[in-house]
Amino acid sequence: MTQFNMKRFGTLLKCHLLEERRNLLRMFLGFTLGLLFLHIFFTEVNGYAADEAAYLEKVEQAVTISLVVIMFGMLGCASAIFQNIRDKRPRTTFFMLPASTVEKFLVRFVWSTVVAFVIWMAAFVVADVLRMLASLLIGHEGMTSGIAMLFDFSDLSGLSEGIGYLALFVIANGLFNHAVYTLGGTIFRRQPFIVTTLLLLVLLTLVVWAWHSPSILGDVQLITLNDNIVTVHPLYYAIVAILLVLAAVCYWLAWRCFSRMPLITNKWLNV
Amino acid sequence: MIQVNDITFRYAGQKDYVFDGFSLTLEQNNIYGLLGKNGTGKSTLLYLISGLLRPLRGNVIVDGIDARKRNADMLSELFLVPEEFSLPPISLDEYVRLNSPFYPHFSREILEACLTDFELQPSLRLDALSMGQQKKAFMSFAMAAGTRLLLMDEPTNGLDIPSKSQFRKVVAEYMSKERTLIISTHQVHDVEMLLDHVLMLTPKQLLLDKSAEELTSRYVFEFRTSSDLQPSALDPQPSALNPQPSSLNPQPSALDPQPSSLSPQPSLDVIYAEPSLQGMAVIAERQEGAAETQLNLELLFNAVTKGLIK
């Protein structure tokens, strides 16, 4: 009656990844081509870089845009968490596998987050290497690596305290978005990414309206930076906490929906 | 043992209930035939037993576990062969290597024997197989999985003529005593020799729940000429010019005019009759001392749906 068995989970993960390897390869090739197109567009097509400094700037632009694409791509992968069981036949196979619903949910969660992240990163590296090879062929001097820039971006140690607060906010927001897209991918049977995005836009509009409405919140500054002194509004902590709690609730709801998901569902919803 | 306790079920967005207060108990060590018209809920019942669907009310208990929970231990003792299924684009060998660890009683020997019977090679790629071959490969895996409960939804659909008899051979050979098999089908002639128990569904309720033994001890299933069913044919002695085919000897032949103990009884005992190519297919009360006949599921089904047998 064990709900989670590590050995069984490992067997299920291995089985799932090996059976899905063709899809994983397809994803990797698609992501690589997409990112390579972006890199080439920003470094070679979108204006000519007269010198290496200008070229470096263009690579920076390409890396920044790639990061945005990867971020949205991760949300897309979160909403595709149950893409494998969209139809009745694969759904029967997946549901009938002798593993608990927790293990099955976690396997798909690992697929839509960890595996997707690894694929995105591998695609970024390959696209960057291909871009560097292309730049050598075109005649740029020196090798300007976007991968090194990616590490520079993630190094926050030299930045001010205010950036730390901002980073925490971004992480909480990112987690919340990921959880919402995971829930959307579990509940919506068709076009989960688009439907979830539309719902989030509605929610965002309401939040922005509330934010700027004097009778509700007014224009609250969450983080203020004056002469290197950071002032954090108490609402900042409340919002970060709410986002984290909401993220946890969305993940839990996604699992709950999955554990009760029937084989034959509504046309649009997995209920 | 499977207990279906007072379940009510309908599909999302549908008004009509597939089951409403439906109950059923299935014992171990039996081969059940689940019959019914289209839309009576045969596949739905299999999905409810597997936990793939959840009843609105009531519950389905499989070996003491609520099927709704899709418990891993329950699933390792339950295998469903749906009418339509998908297999990954890998070789059969690899499929077996990846999936067999989930089934504690998996037998490589049974798998190889089933594949040999079905004339399949383990090295074949699953995505290169025809639908019928895929079904045979999947059924071989199902037999080898060694689960206590095996559910098959239209197992002979898509199988060619030799494969249907291979299927019967495989099931008869590898169904051990500890296993229960539920076959839902319209292809009644493909499975009637295998069944221990017959279940017939009508919308929302169970129309018949009887063992094959009980049915064959109470009724005879045979062919008679239409003249036997006329009042003048009440004479119990069939003549040489009017030989009586039995279900074991359905071809009337002037060379075999001798009535046997399998010969039909007068038409007063007939419960249900319908015309067929071999004459009138008949279900009649079995007289004392008469030999048992082979179950004719199609005939039985028609008689039951007309309310002539309960």
Cα A265 to Cα A245: distance, rounded to the nearest angstrom: 29
pLDDT in 10s for each residue of chain B, 310 residues:
899 999 999 998 888 999 999 999 999 889 999 999 998 999 999 999 999 999 999 999 999 999 999 999 999 999 999 999 999 999 999 999 999 999 999 999 999 999 999 999 989 999 999 999 999 999 999 999 999 999 999 999 989 999 999 999 999 998 877 899 999 999 888 898 899 999 999 887 889 999 999 999 999 998 888 776 665 434 344 433 333 444 434 443 333 334 334 444 456 688 898 888 888 889 998 888 888 898 999 999 999 988 888 8
The model's confidence at residue A49, banded by pLDDT at 50, 70 and 90, is: low
Q: What is the pLDDT of residue B278?
A: 83
SS3 A174: helix
List the structure tokens of B97. 């290597």
Mean of pLDDT values over A73-91: 94
Cα A202 to Cα A107: distance, rounded to the nearest angstrom: 31
> 10 Å Cβ neighbour count for A48?
9
Q: What is the pLDDT of residue B244?
A: 43
Q: In the A/B pair of chains, how many CB contacts fall below 8 A? A: 83
Q: What is the pLDDT of residue B17?
A: 93
Q: What is the pLDDT of residue A230?
A: 79
Q: pTM for the complete prediction? A: 0.86
Cα B245 to Cα B253: distance, rounded to the nearest angstrom: 8
Q: Which of A98, A264, A266 sits opposite B72 (nearest CB)?
A: A98
Q: Which of B11, B60, B80, B86 to mutate to test the interface with A (most CBs of A within 10 A)?
A: B86
DSSP states of A54-82 as a string?
Answer: HHHHHHHHHHHHHHHHHHHHHHHHHHTTT
Whole-number CA gyration radius for chain A: 22
Supply the ipTM of this predicted assembly: 0.85
Q: What is the pLDDT of residue A159?
A: 59
Residues on chain A bordering chain B, Cβ-to-Cβ distance under 8 angstroms: 1-2, 5, 8, 11-12, 14-15, 18-20, 22, 87-90, 92-93, 95-101, 103, 259-260, 262-267, 271
- Least CA distance to B14: which residue of chain A? A266
DSSP states of B176-201 as a string?
Answer: -TT-EEEEE-S-HHHHTTT-SEEEEE
Instruction: Return the H-helix or E-strand segment holding B20.
Output: strand B19-26
The maximal CA–CA distance of chain B, rounded, in angstroms, is 68
CB–CB contact B47 A1 (8 Å): no
CB–CB contact B47 A264 (8 Å): yes
* Long-range contacts (CB closer than 8 Å, 24 or more residues apart) made by A89-94: A89/B82, A89/B84, A89/B85, A89/B86, A90/B86, A91/A263, A92/A263, A92/B52, A92/B80, A92/B82, A92/B85, A93/B85, A93/B86, A93/B87
Q: Which of A18, A90, A99 sits opposite B72 (nearest CB)?
A: A99
Q: Which of A18, A98, A262 sits opposite B52 (nearest CB)?
A: A262
In angstroms, the Cα distances linking A256 to A169, A260, A271, B182 are 27, 6, 11, 30
Q: What is the pLDDT of residue B258?
A: 40
Average pLDDT, chain A: 89
Q: Which of A223-227, A242-246, B76-80, B121-125 has the lowest mean pLDDT?
A: A223-227
Q: What is the pLDDT of residue B238?
A: 40
Q: What is the pLDDT of residue B264?
A: 46
Mean of pLDDT values over A213-235: 76
Q: What is the pLDDT of residue A156?
A: 59
The model's confidence at residue A184, banded by pLDDT at 50, 70 and 90, is: very high
Model confidence pLDDT, tens digit, residues A137-157: 877 766 678 888 877 766 656
CB within 8 Å of B234: residues ≥ 6 apart: B266, B267, B268
Listed residue (A1, A92, A95) closest to B72, CA to CA:
A1
Residue A167 or residue A90, greater confidence? A90
Q: What is the pLDDT of residue B243?
A: 38
Q: What is the pLDDT of residue B245?
A: 40
Q: Would you give the DSSP letter of residue A86? A: S
A6-19 helix and B92-99 helix, angle to the nearest 10 degrees: 160
**Min distance A171 CA to chain B CA atoms (Å):** 35
Q: Which of A136-145, A163-172, A196-205, B301-310 has the lowest mean pLDDT?
A: A136-145
